[in-house]
Structure 1
Amino acid sequence: MSLIQVILMGILQGLTEFIPVSSSGHLVLAQHFFGIGDNENIVFELFMHLGTLLAVLVFFRKTLWELIKSLFSWGNTVNREQHRKNRTLVYYLIISTLATGVIYILFGDFMEAVFNMPMLVAIFLLVTGVIVFVSDYFKDKGIPACNIGFLQAVLIGIGQGVAILPGISRSGTTIACSLATGMKRKDAAQYSFLLSIPAILAGNLSQYKAFANLKPQLLINYLAGFVCSFLVGYLVIAFLIRLIEVSRLKYFAVYCWLIGLLSIVLIILGF
């Protein structure tokens, strides 16, 4: 890929990793229609995902630090109730992550095969549109993320597991599942982003051997994609949190329907 293509792919990754339109689905369709990207270039994709992972870590650095401190604060302190809530939130995040892992273990082979099926990816974008559209109409019951319960955490984790399918948005699905449990809209956004950390990290670690094939002459391209995905991803997080709070995700649903339908028509026509 040329440097321009790398920058475009980095921007695309940063935009679509967090907004509910499926980054993997867009990458599959971009590769199919425009030849942008390389299905064999796993290292480059890992660099871009690391960029969006860094965006989450930087944006939520204070929250993450508070969660970490609470894991080691068990004494009778002034903030013991807040520490208890933080530990409970970490517990639910772990439960959700484990549920995602189970889904991947059971259906991972099929999910990876879908990356070579652009028609199915386009159909899944239509499904994402439905999920995102419906999520705007879930009533905010004001339940804090630390009070959602075990089964609800499992449900959210299953939603994230299903979203491994390209075309199904991870953020859209986890936010919709969180809102369906009655979670506060702001907490639903934060929960989705925090839950993305182990998911993205696990996805990269599973391909760690690919770094052995790192070509030094392409390192500039890899770093360019990394920087673009980080910067754009960081800006998108704040933007999306605000949209979730005011129930404005339905616009992304319309976008998913348009892109999905257009892709299906073009694929049928042989493009």
Structure 2
Amino acid sequence: MDTLQVIILALIQGLTEFLPISSSAHLILPAQLFGWEDQGLSFDVAVHIGSLLAVVIYFRKEIAAMLTAWLASIFKGRHSDDSKLAWWIILATIPAVVMGFITKDLVETHLRGPGVIAITTVIFGLLLWVADRMAKDELTEYQTGWRKALLIGIAQALALIPGTSRSGITMTAALMLGLKREAAARFSFLMSIPVILGAALLMTKDIVSEGHAVDWQALGLGVVLSFIAAYACIYYFLKIISRMGMTPFVIYRVALGVFLCGFIFL
């Protein structure tokens, strides 16, 4: 990978990991437009680590409070809003883990084509618009409850289909279940931590077992740039989402899906 390719892909990964616009849809664009080869597992791990560091550092106070409260709920039987939120995030992670193991080969073999990504980008973008229009805008993330958390987790499992957008589908489900826009985004971002960590660990295992070559300079640059992009994305998204709503992202998704369809099929 040359430096320009590293910069573009790292910034794309960092920005699109947390915006409801589908990172997989964006990562195929440079390859299609510039004829780039696949960036490889090592680089995928690097940019995911950058995104993971961004969300962990941004929510460091919340994570520390949840971890402390979660341990207190286990060893001391003391339950609080933070411990409940921690348990709900754990519960919401289970469907994606189960579906990941069950459908891994199916997704990698049949659902990673650009045509699928173009179609799902549009369909799930329109679903996000419906959810945003129907949103009751009542609950915070601390009022989610285990039933709603499980339903959001089931929605997250759908993000295994490329083009769906993990953040997009989880925010869609959260809005439909009555969460405020900012609360839906915060819950989605916190849910991303175990998912991104698990994905990075699995990819690392594949790298070690298959003996992939490693370009440490490219990986280091990828981590730094994806971290900066992801942190900025989280910060500004949470600042503006309550006022702006999801419509601009829906319009962008539909336009992107139409562009991909035209690029692929014409």
Structure 1-normalised TM-score? 0.89
Q: CA deviation at 1:179?
A: 1.3
1:203 aligns with 199
1:98 paired with 2:94, answer yes
Count of residues paired in the alignment: 262
Residue by residue over 1:215-249, the C-alpha shift from the partner in whole angstroms, topping out at 9 and shown as x without a partner, is 45x11011111111000100000121133322422
1:28 paired with 2:28, answer yes
Contact 2:144 2:179 in 1 (8 A): yes
Inter-partner Cα distance in structure 2 for 1:74 and 1:115: 41
Q: CA deviation at 1:74?
A: 5.5
1:48 aligns with 47
The equivalent position to 2:216 in structure 1, one of 200, 211, 219, is 219
Contact 1:22 1:125 in 2 (8 A): yes
Inter-partner Cα distance in structure 2 for 1:112 and 1:136: 31
Residue by residue over 1:178-213, the C-alpha shift from the partner in whole angstroms, topping out at 9 and shown as x without a partner, is 111112332211110000000111111112234433
Alignment of 1:178-197 (within 5 A): 178-197=174-193
Inter-partner Cα distance in structure 2 for 1:115 and 1:97: 22
Q: CA deviation at 1:164?
A: 1.7
Contact 1:140 1:185 in 2 (8 A): no
Contact 2:24 2:117 in 1 (8 A): no
Inter-partner Cα distance in structure 2 for 1:91 and 1:73: 12
Tell me the amino acid that sits aligned with residue 32 of structure 1.
Q
Contact 1:20 1:171 in 2 (8 A): yes
Tell me the amino acid that sits aligned with residue 227 of structure 2.
F
Cα distance change of structure 1 residues 178 and 258 upon mapping to structure 2, 3 Å threshold: same
Inter-partner Cα distance in structure 2 for 1:201 and 1:146: 23
Cα distance change of structure 1 residues 74 and 96 upon mapping to structure 2, 3 Å threshold: closer
Tell me the amino acid that sits aligned with residue 118 of structure 2.
A
1:65 aligns with 64
1:128 paired with 2:124, answer yes
Inter-partner Cα distance in structure 1 for 2:83 and 2:44: 33
Cα distance change of structure 1 residues 247 and 139 upon mapping to structure 2, 3 Å threshold: farther
Cα distance change of structure 1 residues 114 and 226 upon mapping to structure 2, 3 Å threshold: farther
2:105 aligns with 109
Secondary structure of 2:133 counterpart = coil
Tell me the amino acid that sits aligned with residue 23 of structure 2.
S
Give the superposed CA RMSD: 2.1
Structure 2-normalised TM-score? 0.91
User: Which residues of structure 2 form unaligned runs of 5+?
Assistant: none
Tell me the amino acid that sits aligned with residue 64 of structure 1.
I
Contact 2:51 2:227 in 1 (8 A): yes
Secondary structure of 2:17 counterpart = helix
Q: CA deviation at 1:158?
A: 1.2
Inter-partner Cα distance in structure 1 for 2:263 and 2:160: 24
Secondary structure of 2:171 counterpart = helix
1:153 aligns with 149
Secondary structure of 1:99 counterpart = helix
Q: CA deviation at 1:118?
A: 0.8
1:243 paired with 2:240, answer yes
Contact 2:181 2:245 in 1 (8 A): no
- The ranges of structure 1 where at least 4 consecutive aligned residues each deviate by more than 3 angstroms after the TM superposition are 72-75, 213-216
Contact 1:114 1:166 in 2 (8 A): no
Residue by residue over 1:75-108, the C-alpha shift from the partner in whole angstroms, topping out at 9 and shown as x without a partner, is 9xxxx7xx61111111111111012222223322
**Paired-residue identity, %:** 33
Cα distance change of structure 1 residues 194 and 249 upon mapping to structure 2, 3 Å threshold: same
Residue by residue over 1:18-70, the C-alpha shift from the partner in whole angstroms, topping out at 9 and shown as x without a partner, is 1111112211333233233516x111111011110110011001111111121
Cα distance change of structure 1 residues 135 and 37 upon mapping to structure 2, 3 Å threshold: farther
Tell me the amino acid that sits aligned with residue 70 of structure 1.
A
Contact 2:152 2:173 in 1 (8 A): yes
Cα distance change of structure 1 residues 37 and 52 upon mapping to structure 2, 3 Å threshold: farther
User: Which residues of structure 1 form unaligned runs of 5+?
Assistant: none
Cα distance change of structure 1 residues 114 and 242 upon mapping to structure 2, 3 Å threshold: farther
Q: CA deviation at 1:121?
A: 0.9
